[in-house]
Amino acid sequence: MPQYPFQLVDVFGETPFSGNPLAVIALDADRDAAELLAITRWLNLSETAFLLPPTKGGADYRVRIFTLDRELPFAGHPTLGSCHAWLALGGAPRHPGKVVQECGAGLIDVRRGPDGLAFAAPPLIRSGPVEPATLTEACAVLGIAESDVVAARWIDNGPGWLGLQLRDAAAVIAVEPARSHNARSDIGLVGLHDASSPFAYEVRAIFSDPYGGLIEDPVTGSLNASVAEWMLGTGQVTAPFTATQGTRLSRSGRIRIEQEPSGELWVGGHTETLFSGVTGAVAIAAT
């Protein structure tokens, strides 16, 4: 029975076991989505990534990204973790200093620098003001008053993020969201750190699991990409800077944001394989 390389990669952690874990399984051919989702649910991490041979010209590898309830066209920490795993397995990029990932959102550039990997932030697929009823529902989920929200907008680059800015980082950390909700929620919170902090702002990601529960992601690349675009666009921060996430979960996520003169954003952080091996006695049937 064939076995496939498997890695658990810590992404965005300041130290080992302080970021967001990602399971990465390298396959030789595509598989049925239902089977990949079943594997993801069994592993029970926020996301699992499956490395595959590329199908588009110019790509170094292809990745399919699954949460516990669906496949995503793009996600940030799986992008960095997948690239890290692909390189660790001996992947050789076509272009020096740059890896090109193929995913549901298209081709994503990942660059290699002295501070680690960084991905080019994808464009938003939904932006603009939030409908009053949606804001009311989100505040109820979070257990906060609408008056606690400094600003709200759609900042969706794939997963569906609704962005809410609170008065400061302490207010973000203090939020006590509900444990469940009868409709899907994908809420990103942001609050600025005070001027004495070496960090720009704190981020939290609250989203639905497949069973109506609400869970928190330790560190979220896609959300940090769209929050950075928001905060830079409104002049509240200047690049380069570092954001924090995971504080409420006793994690120390550190997300580096850089911006090119052209306006292109890069989202980076530390990646490290903490466990590796091969899949055991399990049949992963090719489609």
Active-site annotation holder among 14, 35, 47, 137:
47
Q: Is 220 exposed, middle or buried (0-12, 13-18, 19+ CB in 10 A)?
A: buried
b/e sequence 106-139, b meaning 16+ C-beta within 10 Å: ebbebbbeeebbbbbbbebeebeebeeeebebbb
SS3 of residue 8 by DSSP: strand
Residue pair 88/7 in contact by the 8 Å Cβ criterion: yes
β-sheet bridge partners, residue 154 = 128, 162
Residue pair 98/41 in contact by the 8 Å Cβ criterion: no
Residue pair 258/196 in contact by the 8 Å Cβ criterion: no
Residues 6+ apart with CB under 8 A from 26: 4, 5, 6, 50, 51, 85, 86, 89
Q: How many helices (H) and strands (E) does the chain have?
A: 5, 18
d(CA 246, CA 11): 12
β-sheet bridge partners, residue 191 = 202
d(CA 204, CA 229): 16
**Is 47 tagged catalytic?**
yes
Active site amino acids: 47
